[in-house]
Amino acid sequence: MVFTTKILLSLTKSRLAISVVFSALAGYILAADEFNFVNIFLLLVGGYCIVGASNSFNQIIEKDKDSMMDRTKNRPLPKNQISTSRAFWISVFLTLVGLLCLYLINYKTVFFAALSVFLYTCVYTPLKPITPLSVFIGAIPGAIPFMLGWVAATNQFGIEPGTLFMIQFFWQFPHFWSLGWMLDDDYKKAGFIMLPTGNRDKKTALQIILYTLWLIIISVFPATGLTGLLMISLESAIVILVLGLIMLFMGINLYNGMNIASAKRLFMYTIFYLTSVQLIYIIDKFI
């Protein structure tokens, strides 16, 4: 077996890891009065390593199930492009490097990072074939990166990083349930229960709508001035509200249409929404 960069990128799910690191960077920019470029470098490297390690551990645990799914059957472990033992030690190495980098920033940052790895690997992943509640558990480590950047910049946890956490927490549900809707048949081949009711039905679509409403509310809430140092202008809140209403409309379309095409459009839009909200928050800070 020849270990290549391509295998490493696949093990760490590089595109997902980069998007997560961007969330952490956005949180840092929002919090920092002055940029410490050494800490930014440590946050980017440490963040990628932590996310990459979580993804790699996940693939080790789900190796046999991944081989059953069209979406994942060509990953390095099911294809025997890398041994399980080598993938494990790579995961351990990435975890240690990531924790060390974040420890050098401050204690709170490394604590939340360690919590993220634990929940994703030891709780979320084992629960996936057992209960749809796994998505709620998975939403916790999934929501940590945005707030992690704030904590890295300030060494403080309060209403501001808590709000950033809640934005990305509620975002997880329309994002992952629309993905689960698209890939429900594939997930069921491996015994995964990803949708809240276990099926593509009206109740699942309704929950997507309800969580989207909560996402819209928390995304514009900093305009009230009740979230400490995290504030956005009324103009930015209106733009974010419009973006949220578009997502809500897509959720309603899924409820009415009950089809994979509507779920796919919603899934793609959720990615655009989160990135757009983070950029709007950053731009609003500097104008």
pLDDT digits (tens, 9 = 90+) for 44-95: 999 999 999 999 999 999 999 999 999 999 999 999 999 999 999 999 999 9
Whole-number Å distance between alpha carbons of 179 and 182 = 5
Average pLDDT rounded to a whole number, residues 225-232:
95
Average pLDDT rounded to a whole number, residues 196-207:
94
For residue 175, the model assigns a pLDDT of: 96
Whole-number Å distance between alpha carbons of 287 and 234 = 13
For the chain, give the mean pLDDT. Answer: 94
- Name the amino acid, one letter, at 237: A
- Name the amino acid, one letter, at 23: S
- Name the amino acid, one letter, at 196: P
- Name the amino acid, one letter, at 148: L
For residue 5, the model assigns a pLDDT of: 87
Q: Over 80: is that where the pLDDT of 2 sits?
A: no
DSSP letter for each residue of 227-281: STT----HHHHHHHHHHHHHHHHHHHHHHHH-SHHHHHHHHHHHHHHHHHHHHHH
pTM over the 0.85 mark: yes
**CA 147, 153, 155: angle at the middle one, nearest 5?**
85
Q: Over 80: is that where the pLDDT of 104 sits?
A: yes
Q: Helix 260-286 and helix 159-182: axis angle, to 10°?
A: 160
What is the Rg, in whole angstroms, of the alpha carbon atoms belonging to the chain? 19
Q: Over 80: is that where the pLDDT of 3 sits?
A: no
Q: Over 70: is that where the pLDDT of 252 sits?
A: yes
